[in-house]
Amino acid sequence: MNTHFMGGIVVGGLKGILGDLKCEVRFDEYLSAHTTFQVGGPADVLALPKDEGELLTLLERCRSRSLSVTVLGGGANTLVRDGGVRGVVISLARSFRELILREEAKDKTFIEAGAGAKIPALVRFAAEGGWEGVECLAGVPGTVGGAVAMNAGTSERFIGDVVENVRWIRLSEGGVESLPSEDIRFGYRNAIFPEPGLVLGVVLRIVRGDKDQLRTFMQMDAKARRKRQPWGLPCAGSIFRNPPGARTGQIIEALGLKGRRAGSAEISLVHGNFIVNRGDAKASDVLSLVDTIKREAKQRIGVDLVLELQVIGEDIQ
């Protein structure tokens, strides 16, 4: 997930401004249905373009009317506040799902992946073809666009390591560009672009591997993740980044916070760095637990934990 804003304040009349677009637009749409946390208030507008033409027209309309724009990935690693999000929220999660193998030379093979492609689908696509390079994403939820924005991966390998270039749109201008990886600053759980923009797809470097070994690795990784991470309950993945030389889940467990609840939100009993929704949790419940963890870690062991979770929107007024 990546969030950006364009100048101006949404003051109303959105149906009149956007209602004639071919792009699907939903007004006053609750984003709880579009995040893995299943938490969050309404967006003034949720736009679901199905192709580049619809997207470019939508962005031009937003620019011309100074509407704020928020880009939502697959809804993983995202918490929407209870008051929702003002302006236009754009999601590519229901389109832009292409996965294409491109062999340019004997030693140059790539996968072109649309921003809306599901990460598990990308990993399977590569493994079934016997290609290495993206297995660090095994078990990661969400979409490829969100994975690029968050530089998803393991603690040692990241998607940014194999990015060749990214297809994107600058929100300030419009037009699709190819942005080489050297123009993106990939860091631990983040990627800094030259300016606010929207990722349409990515070209990933891959190399020939062993199908059987890749299949075995994926099976073992999936089994390990199911054992050490909560399954069957809505959540958003890791809440905090790992501090240097330590594991946040182990820190939270040592603080005795596993199982702590606020409303229907709970610090997972399986993994301390996950917060789960046990029914009808509110964003304020989740943020209450976040504050508790940060405070306890700072006061008791002197560790400043940094959020990996992306929080968007506003509180209920």
Which residue is catalytic, options 81, 86, 97, 189?
189
208: Cα separation from own chain's centroid: 28
- CA 188/CA 162 separation, integer angstroms: 15
Which residue is catalytic, options 238, 260, 266, 296?
238
Q: Annotated catalytic, 103?
A: no
The label of the residue with tokens 């991966």 reads 153
Q: Annotated catalytic, 253?
A: no
Q: Annotated catalytic, 172?
A: no
How many CA atoms within 13 Å lie on the side-chain side of 193?
23
Indicate the SS3 state at residue 25.
Answer: strand
Rg from Cα positions in the chain: 20
- CA 73/CA 146 separation, integer angstroms: 5
Catalytic residues: 189, 238, 308
